[in-house]
Amino acid sequence: MSNTEMTNTENNPVLSIENYSLDYETANGPFHALKTIDLSINRGEILGLVGESGSGKTSLAWSIMRYLPKNAREPGGRILLGGDNLLDKSERQMEAIRGRRISMVFQDPSTSLNPTLSLGTQLAEVLMRHRGLSRQQAWKEGEERLAHVGLKTPAQMMHRMPHEASGGEKQRVVIASAFACNPECIIFDEPTTALDVITSRQILDLFVELQAETGVASLYISHDLALVARTAGRVAVIKRGDIVEQGTVREIFTNPQQDYTRELINAVPDPAHRLVKDDVAVTDKPLVKVENVSVHFGRKSFLAALTGKKTERVTGNNAISLSVNPGEILGIVGESGSGKSTLAKAMTGLNRFEGKIWFDGREIRNLGDMDNAYRKDVQIIFQHPDASLNPRQKIFEILSRPLKLFGDGSDLEKQVGDMLEQVRLPRTHANRYPHQLSGGEKQRVAIARAFASKPKLVICDEITSALDVSVQASVVELLLDLQKASGTAYLFITHDLNLIRQIAHRIAVMYRGDLIEVVKAEEIDSPDRADYTRRLIEAVPRAAAQFQ
């Protein structure tokens, strides 16, 4: 079916990759990053390229841009842009092609823009370089371009520095400069991953709009199947450098041919499919009660204290009150900077706070009240397992510390082994260093460490967001099994609304340090919800629902 479609739209694809392979020379012999890739994108088409981290998505993008590291080798194949083989081009010829005929939008706008140049200078530079405009012409054209990508005050925006614009505004500028020379093909490398839910929805809408208007051939790289389903017409699934399956979005979702594709689709969280039973008794005596907890950042400077000058402090949390029942999973959602992690840090004694925390009937007013017993009962798991496990300690040492602090500390070898088995890792992993484990395995070790002291409350701070979808699904499954076995309550912080709707009993929504509301998970999409909650729910793509 896809063949007939292709011939109908246009005979010559804008970008076609034929039989292309890429190797990296490493100390341990060549590493095959891409294996005989065949892809083509027609005018006006969006091709989604989906794969997990390390699958070679970004390598492919850089091969097309002809910007490869020195140890890259290309055993064969062709990359044709409008019929010209890019592999034959010299570096100088490529410089004229990049930005003019093919351009790229990166993941994080805060790193892809130069922080020392104004946004206007960076946009005008592209226009001057590739369209031969004078400075004034380029500046004027730049303003028009910015207005075109939906920025309200383009003239002022041109003069602003990158740090004076929000993430969404910066990404709009990047998109404007990618479209600036009307290229034939644009590569989008996870353009919304670094943005907030609502902002990324707006950027996505803008992208679809511009794409339809200009008819540029787009390669949309993402790890998020749900996102690709919203934008792309065709999808290619890549696994370890191999394109395993290609087809229209509908084909891929309704009738996947490969096991790997099926796995990927099943791993995408679907809020309609709840993973927990709603059997938590709401009691008068919750396990934790957070009462009017506020967190402020910044310390009074010595000079200000002397002169009695008032200092403006940044508010991280603004009088938050919520409670967690024994054995309950309470989800906390919100955009970045909404104070989710700040609250978690206050509850584990990493931030000073004002207000009260009641834990198991005990009152905690400040960090000094958090004694050994409290720390034993409240454990935290962090987002990045790379950062939360000390790279210079073996797994055995990492896991034996909580046993020594909170447990009996006898027969550590057996206990550490048991802990590893509990999180479904082999006992022999105790002798390894963190860098010898995969991301998912590392997060399992972090989970094992949190459960070592048999806590009553575990705070999970975005623990799945650094992991691939399939790994994420298995980590969530492990957490739910542990919860069933131990009856531990979770405070589950995430920005993934689909996931939290699957696993939480209640969901707390936060916005800019304030708690908006706490609602039952199955009632979060009811129309009675607060305005912000409704916008959040609307912004999240739901892949499966689209095709059922």
Partner 1 sequence: MTEFLKRLLKTPQGAIGTFLVVLVLAIVVFGPMLAPYDPEKLSPLARYKGPSLMYWLGTDQYGRDIFSRLLIGARATVVMAVLATIAGTLIGALIGTASAFLGGRADELIMRTIDAVMSIPSLLFALLVVNLLGSSTVNALVAVAIAFAPGMARITRSVALSVRKQDYVNAAIARGESSAYIIRREMLPNVIAPIIVEMTIRVSFAVMLFATLSFLGLGAQPPAAEWGLMVSEARRYMHMSAGILIWPSVAIAIVAVGFNLLGDGLRDALNPRT
Would you tell me which residues interact with partner 1 (CB under 8 A)?
299, 345, 348-350, 370, 372, 375, 379-380, 382-384, 387-393, 401-402, 405-406, 449, 453
Output 220 or 382, the one with its CB closest to partner 1.
382
First to last CA, the chain: 21
CB of 316 to partner 1, least distance (A): 15
Round to whole Å and give the CA distance between 236 and 499.
Answer: 24
Q: Which residues pair with 31 in a beta bridge?
A: 24
Considering the complex, state which of residue 211 and residue 453 has its C-beta at the smaller distance from partner 1: 453
Residue whose structure tokens are 């012409």: 137
Q: Given phi > 0 = left and psi -120 to 50 = alpha, else beta, which region is 496? A: beta
Q: Least distance from C-beta 422 to partner 1, angstroms?
A: 18
The CB-of-342 to partner 1 minimum distance in angstroms stands at: 13
Nearest residue (CB) to partner 1, 42 versus 464: 464
Quick one: which of 193, 233, 258 has its CA closest to 49? 233
Helix (H, G, I), strand (E, B) or coil at 125: helix
Contacts of 528 (CB under 8 A, 6+ apart): none
Least Å from the CB of residue 388 to partner 1: 4
Nearer to partner 1, 202 or 393 (CB): 393
State the nearest-atom distance from the C-beta of 450 to partner 1, in Å. 9
Of 146 and 381, which CB lies nearer to partner 1 in the complex structure? 381
Residue 280 identity? V
Supply the minimum distance, in Å, between the C-beta of residue 391 and partner 1: 7
Cβ distance to partner 1 smaller for residue 129 or 375: 375
Q: Please, what is the angle between helix 531-539 and helix 197-214, to 10°?
A: 50
Q: Which is nearer to partner 1, 27 or 281 (CB)?
A: 27
CB of 357 to partner 1, least distance (A): 14
- Beta carbon nearer to partner 1, 405 or 545: 405
Which CB atom, from 177 or from 351, has the smaller least distance to partner 1? 351
Looking only at the bridges linking them, the beta strands covering 514-520 and 506-511 are: antiparallel
CA distance 170 to 117: 13
Minimum distance of partner 1 from residue 359's CB (angstroms): 14
CB count in 10 Å sphere of residue 260: 19
- Write out the two tokens for 475: 């980590």
φ, ψ of residue 55 to 5 degrees: the values are -85, -10
Whether 226 contacts 542, CB under 8 Å: yes
Nearest to 249 by CA among 233, 263, 267: 233
Distance separating alpha carbons of residues 110 and 108, to the nearest angstrom? 5
CB of 451 to partner 1, least distance (A): 12
Q: Tell me the closest approach of the beta carbon of residue 282 to partner 1, in angstroms.
A: 28
Query: What 8-state DSSP symbol labels residue 98?
Result: B
The least distance separating partner 1 from the CB of residue 392, rounded to whole angstroms, comes to 4
Q: Given the complex with partner 1, which of 140 and 376 has the nearer CB atom?
A: 376
- Nearer residue to partner 1 within complex by CB, 282 or 387: 387
356/401 with CB nearer partner 1: 401
> CA-CA distance, 441 to 471, in Å (whole number)?
9
Q: Backbone phi, then psi, for 478, in 5-degree steps? A: -60, -45
* Buried b / exposed e along 211-250 (16+ C-beta atoms within 10 A): beeeebbbbbbbbbbbbbbbbbbbbbbbbebbbbbbbebe
- 243-251 CB contacts, 8 Å cutoff, 24+ apart: 243/37, 243/38, 243/39, 246/2, 246/39, 247/2, 248/1, 248/2, 248/5, 249/48, 250/547, 251/1, 251/2
Considering the complex, what minimum distance in angstroms separates the CB of residue 390 from partner 1?
4
